[in-house]
Amino acid sequence: MLSVVPRPVTVRVPAKVNLHLGVGLPRRDGYHELTTVFQALSLSDTISVVPADELSITVTGDSAREVPVDGTNLAWRAAELMARIAGREPAVAITIAKGIPVAGGMAGGSADAAGTLVALARMWHLEIGRDKMRDLAAELGSDVPFSLRGGTALGTGRGEKLTTVLSRGEYHWVLAVAKEGLSTPEVFRELDHLRENYSSADDTGTYTESPDELLQALASGDPRRVADLLHNDMQPAALSMRPALRRTLRAGVDAGALAGIISGSGPTCAFLCTDSDAAVTTAAELSGAGVCRAVRTATGPVAGARLIDGSL
């Protein structure tokens, strides 16, 4: 008898950078109120699922060894959640091809969770509307709804409430990937600590309700205007935990970028460039500066979690 090898369902999911990240006070539930502008970048993870006897995760790519393959992997939790919704066992083998830096402030784990939700909805032929998918994503993590949606969006609440932002043109980025990651909750704690112990708001950021100037700059499509308005309240906390990142930020601007910012909770440094040529020359020069583990170029905005053609 011929045995039929099941075809995998494959989904590509982008990394994110926060063009603006305003952090408010901690809430009762331990999360911080945020106002953030996300942009999805062409750097991505690829998630494939096939039916199997039991749930398993395999990770490939340079940083595979840094990623857990048990129930602490966000993709595992996404599979269990989707199985519960479908009323079945999470009997799937998940393969994650890692292109997004691990613990880099670029929503790598969130991307894998979003990708798993989309892949399993297709593989199990589940009719789940956009709103329900968004709610499932938010249950898994604050960044997961954006990984699902992509593009450019304003995030409020703990970052999970999204509205679309009008953005013109393509933005060219250079990313300096650090040797070692930072833990997101630890960076939030460091920010609270800095705010409790130092009164100067200049050092620890000011939470703004709506980054209107940035939204206007994005609508204009002028990278110079956008570069002037990049802002991250978490940056002082990440720099306090990793002072060497100051050198990385300086090196990117010296190499030709318009501006540099720490991505989310860090430690990846994201540099906005005028165009693709400038990004290539900036990346080459930054690679030689010895201030990071790896240098990548990326463009944004791109779409969120998408099935790859040929998937079932």
Ligand X SMILES: C[C@](O)(CO)[C@H](O)COP(=O)(O)OP(=O)(O)OC[C@H]1O[C@@H](n2ccc(N)nc2=O)[C@H](O)[C@@H]1O
35 neighbors 20 (Cβ within 8 angstroms): yes
Q: Give Cα separations from 238 to 22, 38, 246, 305 (angstroms).
A: 14, 18, 10, 28
Using CA atoms, how far apart are residues 191 and 204, in angstroms rounded to an integer? 7
The only residue of 106, 162, 245, 302 in contact with ligand ATP, by rule CB under 6 A: 106
| 112/251 with CB nearer ligand X | 112
The only residue of 204, 265, 282, 297 in contact with ligand ATP, by rule CB under 6 A: 265
| 19/255 with CB nearer ligand X | 19
| 43/154 with CB nearer ligand ATP | 43
Peptide bond into 267 cis (omega under 30): yes
Residue 143 a catalytic site member: yes
Q: What is the smallest separation between the CB atom of 168 and ligand ATP, expressed in angstroms?
A: 26
| Selected catalytic residue, list 16, 45, 98, 233 | 16
**Site mask, ligand ATP, residues 138-167, x = CB under 6 A?**
-----x------------------------
Which residues inside 66-95 make contact with ligand ATP, applying CB under 6 A?
67-68, 72-75
266 neighbors 232 (Cβ within 8 angstroms): no
- How close are the terminal C-alpha atoms of the chain, in Å? 23
The residue with tokens 């790598």 is 108
Q: Which helix (H) or strand (E) holds 44?
A: strand 32-51
18 binds, among ligand X, ligand ATP, none (CB under 5 to 8 A by kind): ligand X
- DSSP letters along 239-266, please? HHH-TTHHHHHHHHHHTT-SEEEE-TTS
Q: Which residues bind ligand ATP (CB under 6 A)?
A: 67-68, 72-75, 96, 102-110, 112, 143, 181, 184, 264-265
Q: Which residues bind ligand X (CB under 6 A)?
A: 18, 21, 30-32, 34, 36, 107, 110, 141-143, 158-159, 184-185, 188, 264-265
